[in-house]
Structure formats: C-alpha cells, structure tokens
C-alpha cells in the first residue's frame, strides 16, 4: 500500500459542501492548513475550468487539468506572462512594483534574455557543477547532528540551495544567506508577523538587493566574461544595458534567478524527507535500491510540486473548454492540481518512486517559460540523495512540517 496525500475529513466535507461558485482555491489559508487537496479534486471532476468571483486576489479563472494547463502554457499568443499585465502570480503586484523579468515577459524580448543565462544549464556545464555539488553536499551532511533533533530545512535544504546559488552567481560566500533572505522577501505577501511587515519594508530590502548586485555587476562588467550568471548578464548584448537603462528589469531578472534557484529546490528537498517518512515502504525500497533515485527525484518533484501555480493574462476574448475568457482576465494554471490529474497520471495521490514515466509532471511549467534550470534542480536532488543514502540509514521527521 502506497501512502496517499492526507486530506482531513473536515476539509473534504467543506470542499464538497461549498457551492462551486463560492470556491476560491487561491485562498492562502488552504495552503497554510494543507487543506487544498479536496478542493482541487472537486474542481478537476466538476469544474475543471472555474471562475472565482474574487477573494484576496480578485476574480480569476482556475485551470486544473493537466492537458488544459499544457494548452494554456503553449498558447503564448493569447495568454501573456507580461509583468505589466499582472505577471505570473495570482497576486497582482502594485502597479509601481511590477518588475519585468524574462519569465514575466512575452516574445520577442523573452527569448534573448533567457538565452543569456541558459548556457549555465547545458549538459557540459552541469558536469562541472556536479563535482562541486557533491563536495558541498558531503560537507553539509557530514556535519549534521546524529541521533538528535535538528531543523532539516535550515541546515540542509536552505543551506545547500543557498550555497548553489552563491556558486551560480559567484556571490561572496560568507554573505550567502542574504540570497535566502532576498528570496523570502521577494515571494512574501507583506503582513504583521510575516517575513516583512509592509510593502514599503519589502521594497526597501529589494532595493538593497539591487544595490548589492549592482556593485557586483559593475565589477563583472569591467572584467573579462566568466561563467557565472552575473557575468553572463553583464556581458550579453541582450541584458548588459539593463542595469543602466532598465533597472526594474535588472532587479526582476535577479530576483527571478534567486527565487528560482532557492525557493523551489529548497521546498522539494524538504518535501522529499516528508514524502519518504509518510511512505515508509517507499523509503525502504529506496534504501534497498539506490539506483531508484533516478525515478524518485522526478516523482518527488511531481508529488511535492514546489510551485503551486503560474498565472497568465488573456490578451483577447477566447472560448476555452466551453468557458468564455475575456481580454484581461486572470488565468491561473494550478500545477499542484495538474500533477494529480488522474486522467494523465495513474494513481496520482500515491507516492511511487519507481513509476514508469516519472517525468510526466508540470512542476517545471511548460512551453517557452519552462524552468531554465530544471536539469540543475534534478541534478542537485539526485546528488544530495546519493550522498544521504551513503551516510544515513534513516532520517526521521519528528514534527509536523510548518508551512509559512
């Protein structure tokens, strides 16, 4: 028996008794409480393309089936990612803070900017990074406490992904936790008791990020081109003007790369420990067959789904699966739902580390905006787990995961 996604009776009852027209699956409470699963399950069955009249994030369409998400993802002519229209998140940033980046940008501008950083993630360069990842993973794991409780997220997930980012940017090593902080600040919704209390505080920290990177950028621009992300951007014809001529795009690209490299792999690495603890038969299978790491990694990326959604904005009126989208409508593609679409993935709620086609998932998105660093993310997870299995017979989750 494989483990399954937990869904409390209360959440299920609520999801199936709430009128569909009152559904607001973007409500952050559902994610904090981990009670969103039955809501998406019902939407996939009864209203796979659903209109929410509004809540914290205003009105929006939800697209919840795998193939429908693929259709939206590849229809760049109709569904825009442009920051000026709202960008890629369900939350509309205040207009003055809508920073463009190559993920929040349509063609023709998107391609050349993405192409600037893509060489970091080619097979040849990944070969070079692999040695570094293995060495750092070993060091971090060798210094973990044994037979005592510790914070896995901070000591392993955050530390290793932050180190990776510092390598990619050739960032000052001792100050690398600034990257973690800027990633957290960038993705948070300001509020009392949160990562930052106000939008002003958030923007002040992001300005600090821009200034810090600006100084590094200026230095790299004066030096011969190197193979770090900052040098690549400082020398590329597609991006070298951004620091002076388009500071919002400059900061947007930086925060995109920081968040993309930090937040997602960190979450999956933490989620992998939870997944294996919730599914002890799979953990046993992995320990006894370490070669299953090859399929375990994409399975956990699907199962955990580090990024719940991406948003697009309709550029024209269009009928989609019998629903009428209007120009300007917000369209949210729920990866966290598509990854559990039973029409595409057999027994999707089960965590099965030896699936036959484990790469059938939407966690990296699809189309021209598919995660540029997806192979690096997979590589990191694979190497870290190879090193974990060499060292530890068991890592036990002793408390409920906190979901900020």
In terms of CB distance, is 71 or 228 closer to another protein?
Answer: 71
CB neighbours (10 Å) of residue 256? 22
CA dihedral of residues 294, 184, 250, 114 (deg, nearest 10): 20
Binding another protein (rule: CB under 8 A), the pick from 5, 70, 144, 189 is 70
Give how many residues touch another protein by CB under 8 A. 36
In terms of CB distance, is 36 or 325 closer to another protein?
Answer: 325
In terms of CB distance, is 113 or 186 closer to another protein?
Answer: 113
Based on the shown chain and the rule CB under 8 A, indicate whether residue 329 belongs to the binding site for another protein: no
The least CB distance from residue 74 to another protein, in Å, is 4
Nearest to 149 by CA among 395, 400, 401: 395
Based on the shown chain and the rule CB under 8 A, indicate whether residue 223 belongs to the binding site for another protein: no
What DSSP string runs through 199-222? HHHHHHHHHHHHHHHHHHHHHHHH
Scanning 47-169, the segments in alpha helix (DSSP H) are 66-74, 110-117, 123-142, 152, 159-169
3 state DSSP class of 48: coil
Binding another protein (rule: CB under 8 A), the pick from 360, 386, 395, 397 is 360
Distance, CA of 105 to CA of 307 (rounded, Å): 19
Based on the shown chain and the rule CB under 8 A, indicate whether residue 294 belongs to the binding site for another protein: yes
Based on the shown chain and the rule CB under 8 A, indicate whether residue 277 belongs to the binding site for another protein: no
Question: Contacts by 105-111 with C-beta closer than 8 Å and gap 24+?
Answer: 105/81, 106/76, 106/80, 106/81, 106/82, 107/76, 107/368, 110/81, 110/368, 110/369, 111/368
Measured in degrees and rounded to the nearest 5, phi and psi for residue 326 equal -100, 150
In terms of CB distance, is 109 or 277 closer to another protein?
Answer: 109
Cβ atoms 202, 196 nearer than 8 A? yes
Based on the shown chain and the rule CB under 8 A, indicate whether residue 321 belongs to the binding site for another protein: no
The least CB distance from residue 396 to another protein, in Å, is 29
- Check residue 176 and give left, alpha or beta (phi > 0: left; psi -120 to 50: alpha): alpha
Binding another protein (rule: CB under 8 A), the pick from 58, 112, 194, 290 is 112
Kindly indicate which of the ranges 107-115, 198-206, 303-311, 394-402 contains the residues binding another protein, using the contact rule CB under 8 A: 107-115
3 state DSSP class of 187: helix
Based on the shown chain and the rule CB under 8 A, indicate whether residue 246 belongs to the binding site for another protein: no
In terms of CB distance, is 119 or 172 closer to another protein?
Answer: 119
The least CB distance from residue 402 to another protein, in Å, is 32
Structure tokens at 366: 């699809």
The least CB distance from residue 187 to another protein, in Å, is 24
What residues line the site for another protein (CB under 8 A)?
Answer: 70-71, 73-76, 107-112, 114-115, 118-119, 121-124, 126-127, 294-295, 298, 357-360, 366-368, 370, 372, 375, 379
């Amino acid at each position: 028996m494989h483990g399954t996604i937990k869904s409390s009776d209360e959440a299920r009852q609520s999801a199936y008794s709430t009128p569909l027209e009152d559904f607001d699956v973007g409500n952050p409470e559902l994610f904090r409480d981990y009670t969103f699963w039955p809501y998406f399950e019902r939407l996939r069955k009864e209203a796979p393309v659903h209109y929410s009249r509004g809540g914290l994030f205003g009105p929006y369409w939800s697209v919840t089936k795998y193939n429908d998400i693929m259709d939206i993802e590849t229809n760049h002519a109709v569904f825009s990612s442009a920051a000026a229209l709202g960008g890629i998140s369900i939350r509309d940033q205040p207009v003055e803070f809508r920073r463009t980046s190559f993920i929040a940008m349509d063609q023709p501008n998107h391609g050349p900017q993405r192409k600037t950083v893509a060489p970091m993630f080619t097979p040849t360069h990944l070969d070079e990074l692999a040695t570094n990842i293995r060495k750092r993973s070993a060091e971090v794991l060798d210094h973990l406490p044994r037979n005592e409780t510790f914070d896995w997220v901070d000591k392993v997930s955050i530390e290793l992904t932050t180190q990776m980012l510092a390598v990619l940017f050739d960032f000052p090593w001792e100050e690398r936790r600034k990257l973690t902080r800027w990633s957290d600040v960038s993705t948070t919704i300001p509020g009392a008791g949160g990562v930052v209390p106000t939008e002003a505080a958030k923007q002040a920290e992001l300005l600090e990020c821009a200034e810090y990177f600006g100084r590094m950028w200026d230095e790299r621009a004066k030096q011969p081109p190197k193979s770090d992300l900052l040098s690549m951007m400082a020398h590329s014809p597609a991006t070298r003007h951004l620091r002076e001529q388009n500071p919002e795009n400059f900061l947007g690209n930086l925060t995109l790369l920081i968040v993309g490299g930090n937040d997602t792999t960190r979450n999956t690495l933490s989620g992998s420990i939870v997944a294996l603890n919730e599914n002890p038969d799979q953990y046993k299978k992995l320990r006894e067959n370490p070669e299953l790491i090859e399929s375990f990694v994409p399975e956990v990326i699907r199962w955990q789904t580090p990024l719940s959604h991406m948003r697009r904005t309709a550029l024209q009126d269009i009928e989609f699966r019998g629903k009428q989208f209007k120009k300007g409508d917000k369209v949210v593609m729920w990866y966290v739902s598509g990854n559990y679409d039973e029409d595409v993935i057999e027994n999707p709620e089960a965590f099965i580390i030896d699936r036959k086609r484990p790469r059938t998932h939407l966690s990296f998105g699809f189309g021209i905006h598919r995660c540029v660093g997806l192979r690096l993310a997979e590589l990191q997870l694979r190497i870290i787990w190879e090193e974990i299995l060499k060292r530890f017979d068991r890592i036990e989750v002793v408390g409920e995961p906190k979901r900020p």
